[in-house]
Chain A
């Protein structure tokens, strides 16, 4: 063998190894170790929790002495720590600790009588629901700025002084550069409304650096620039956590996310806005069932503690994956899809529902393109990353109006406020939340906007003349729900004439329900009765 060629080969292999091995081979040794119990442990909730967390627990009927809040059994943790190479975060909620070790050590730990389960944590490289484009500066983006809020009737909240005051929102992201000096956040730092910050990657308090995504997201909840609102919750309080790297997802992100969740709980968060998710590298579409992924389990746990997790559906709508990403699949989280501001219907990249076990997702939707804070001004950016905080801001206003709402009441209230409600589909959920439905609960019957006529072998949907659309919002939505309760088909039609839809009778099966929505009016037909 020629020595120089050998050296050249070794050089390339070494280069290759440095580049990729740390994310693959080495990280095979990272694990969650779950314990069977918390025998002999206890804690004082009044010392551990922020008063706001205690208040939230009382409202939600959660015991202050819930064993899932107890620390881990110290003897168990020490025994495992003595065997493992190193240990990391200890999750009270999961009764688990993060460790590193080799196969032999894992074998020893597995044989311990108090160890319930060991799950390896795989490293992956994957893009979350970031918009990777830094975006171009479009000045103040006046029309879009006002429309992203007026689409939710934000002015109605403003008129009634609903600005998220007193509501504590935790935001998890990849960094919050310039948030401590950008004018769009002046009202936060001048009024000390950023309660706590923590960088779970660097284990430091300073989060005002790294990826710009968090700054953009936060501005969609609370931004206020030159007197113009970018988000609805301008008076809310914030907990800012950096849990994410920007473009890669090493194993630690899932751990950071869980750690941040428990940190937010302890510090009294009522709403968690998280524009991130995991998908193809770790999971299959058929695992998007709300039970499989660790983050989804953590999100459900957060709901049990009374925190409403608001999360993005993902930007995979026109990709191979197509469907929602986790934790948007968890049943007790509010999953948010995106709509196109120009058409007011589903924006192509927004991931579709339902979950793998056929539950409705997204729950609601909002603008998928929004005006956000740039490094020193404003810019336009796209992604369900921005639909999510827009809804988080809306939710804070609802909670301010109804401070006694439990987490699930809040979730259902947001769903009911959707502009399509009670109609739904897997692209829009219940539609865009409407402040008017929150504030004006007059329950007046909505006058019919269309009628259905059976003519020959078809159903004909006829639009009432006075409701014929003169603008772009004139869409007719319909779906066919099967006997099992999930949708076999759904569609949106642009209404340009009275006779808008024909559905051949033969297309419909026994027991299916046809549901139609047009301009606030929804009607359903059980096909057994109508045939």
Chain B
């Protein structure tokens, strides 16, 4: 029986080898030339992007912020072309980090629910996941390229990690310098939302985000904290 199985296997292998056609190039243009559905100016397009925005909006009294307060985003964008001039899309932000560097001037009321400017450095960092929906108006002639566009959208962020950082002035006779990270902040909102606008030239985009929600919780026994700036403007680069 074993011999029979071996023989059959050998014959099968030989017949396969004998009939094998060694194809070094094969093209089926009739199938290839079906209109492509994925591409920069096709029906669907997906790409990654990175974005760096600066906080530039007006803050409340007591929440002055330093230059360098910024937001960094890394995410993926899906665009669905509706017609030559219009598209809709969705951004998924894998990583969105907003860092507010707070000025320690006489008006600062951020820390400890009301203490004023006693520290050398103070910052608040929100690390979030985000979702954004937008409508895109394209203009100008273009081939299969992103081209020039204006986006108007709305976004929502969920902050899964929020921290408050302080570094003191080194005046304490007990501790000298000390740095402190505070997490699980009771006075911040995890969910934020707002509107956005973009002006794009291919992969290069000028971006603006305006937050409509408050960063800090009010009432419930908490001191009302002054709001940090709601507008951020910056540059985005599409990775494609």
Q: Which of B18, B19, B25, B41 has the most CB of A within 10 A?
A: B25
The answer to whether B65 has its CB under 8 Å from any CB of chain A is yes
Residues of B within 8 A of A489 (CB): 26-30
Closest to B27 in A: A490
Residues of A within 8 A of B142 (CB): 122, 281-282
Per-residue A-contact encoding for B101-128, CB less than 8 Å = 1, 0 else: 0000000000000000000000000000
Closest to A8 in B: B67
- B67 near A493 with CB under 8 A, answer no
- B69 near A5 with CB under 8 A, answer yes
Known: A5-B67, A9-B233. A427 touches B27 (CB 8 A): yes
Q: Give min CB distance, B140 to chain A, whole Å.
A: 7
CA distance A284 to B26 in the complex (A): 24
CA distance A475 to B24 in the complex (A): 9
Residues of A within 8 A of B26 (CB): 489-492
The answer to whether B71 has its CB under 8 Å from any CB of chain A is no
The answer to whether B23 has its CB under 8 Å from any CB of chain A is yes
Q: Which of B24, B64, B143, B145 contacts A345 (CB 8 A)?
A: B24
- B143 near A426 with CB under 8 A, answer no
Indicate the size class of the contact surface on chain A: 35 or more
Residues of A within 8 A of B40 (CB): 280
Per-residue B-contact encoding for A9-38, CB less than 8 Å = 1, 0 else: 100110010011100110010000000000
Residues of B within 8 A of A427 (CB): 25, 27
Chain B 10-28 residues near chain A, CB threshold 8 A? 18-19, 21-28
Known: A122-B141, A496-B22, A501-B21. A1 touches B57 (CB 8 A): yes
CA distance A240 to B122 in the complex (A): 65
- B201 near A25 with CB under 8 A, answer yes
CA distance A120 to B142 in the complex (A): 11
Known: A322-B32, A427-B27. A9 touches B54 (CB 8 A): yes
The answer to whether A279 has its CB under 8 Å from any CB of chain B is yes
Q: Which of A1, A352, A492 contacts B229 (CB 8 A)?
A: A1
- B23 near A281 with CB under 8 A, answer no
The answer to whether B204 has its CB under 8 Å from any CB of chain A is yes
CA distance A124 to B204 in the complex (A): 13
- A9 near B234 with CB under 8 A, answer yes
Residues of A within 8 A of B41 (CB): 284
Q: Which of A8, A9, A124 has the most CB of B within 10 A?
A: A9
CA distance A482 to B29 in the complex (A): 11
Q: Give min CB distance, A253 to chain B, whole Å.
A: 15
Indicate the size class of the contact surface on chain B: 35 or more
- A16 near B204 with CB under 8 A, answer yes
Residues of B within 8 A of A496 (CB): 22
Known: A5-B56, A5-B69, A6-B56. A280 touches B144 (CB 8 A): yes
The answer to whether A223 has its CB under 8 Å from any CB of chain B is no
The answer to whether A487 has its CB under 8 Å from any CB of chain B is yes
The answer to whether A155 has its CB under 8 Å from any CB of chain B is no
The answer to whether B148 has its CB under 8 Å from any CB of chain A is yes
Chain A 483-531 residues near chain B, CB threshold 8 A? 486-494, 496-497, 499-502
Closest to A124 in B: B145
- A5 near B54 with CB under 8 A, answer yes
Q: Which of B19, B64, B145 contacts A502 (CB 8 A)?
A: B19
- A2 near B67 with CB under 8 A, answer yes
The answer to whether B1 has its CB under 8 Å from any CB of chain A is no
The answer to whether B206 has its CB under 8 Å from any CB of chain A is yes
- A2 near B66 with CB under 8 A, answer yes
Residues of A within 8 A of B58 (CB): 1
Known: A427-B25, A488-B28, A496-B22. A281 touches B234 (CB 8 A): no
CA distance A502 to B143 in the complex (A): 42
The answer to whether A201 has its CB under 8 Å from any CB of chain B is no
Residues of A within 8 A of B25 (CB): 345-346, 427, 491-492
Residues of B within 8 A of A425 (CB): 27
Q: Give min CB distance, A515 to chain B, whole Å.
A: 15
Residues of B within 8 A of A494 (CB): 22, 24
The answer to whether B195 has its CB under 8 Å from any CB of chain A is no
Known: A122-B142, A280-B144. A4 touches B27 (CB 8 A): no
Q: Give min CB distance, A251 to chain B, whole Å.
A: 11
Known: A322-B32, A501-B21. A491 touches B201 (CB 8 A): no
The answer to whether B68 has its CB under 8 Å from any CB of chain A is yes
CA distance A151 to B47 in the complex (A): 44
The answer to whether B36 has its CB under 8 Å from any CB of chain A is yes
The answer to whether A189 has its CB under 8 Å from any CB of chain B is no
Residues of A within 8 A of B148 (CB): 24-25
The answer to whether B35 has its CB under 8 Å from any CB of chain A is yes
Residues of B within 8 A of A9 (CB): 54, 56, 233-234
The answer to whether A114 has its CB under 8 Å from any CB of chain B is no
Q: Which of A24, A28, A487, A502 contacts B21 (CB 8 A)?
A: A502
Q: Give min CB distance, B240 to chain A, whole Å.
A: 10
3 smallest beta-carbon distances between A and B, as pairs: A4-B67, A492-B25, A283-B143
29 A-B residue pairs with CB within 8 Å = A1-B57, A5-B55, A8-B68, A9-B56, A12-B234, A12-B235, A13-B235, A20-B201, A25-B148, A122-B140, A122-B141, A280-B40, A280-B145, A281-B142, A283-B144, A284-B143, A285-B36, A345-B24, A345-B25, A487-B29, A489-B26, A489-B28, A491-B23, A492-B23, A492-B25, A493-B21, A496-B22, A499-B18, A502-B21
Contacts A9-B234, A284-B144, A343-B24 known; list 19 others, CB within 8 Å.
A1-B58, A2-B67, A4-B66, A5-B67, A9-B54, A12-B234, A16-B235, A25-B148, A122-B140, A125-B202, A280-B143, A282-B142, A282-B145, A283-B143, A284-B41, A322-B32, A427-B27, A482-B30, A490-B27
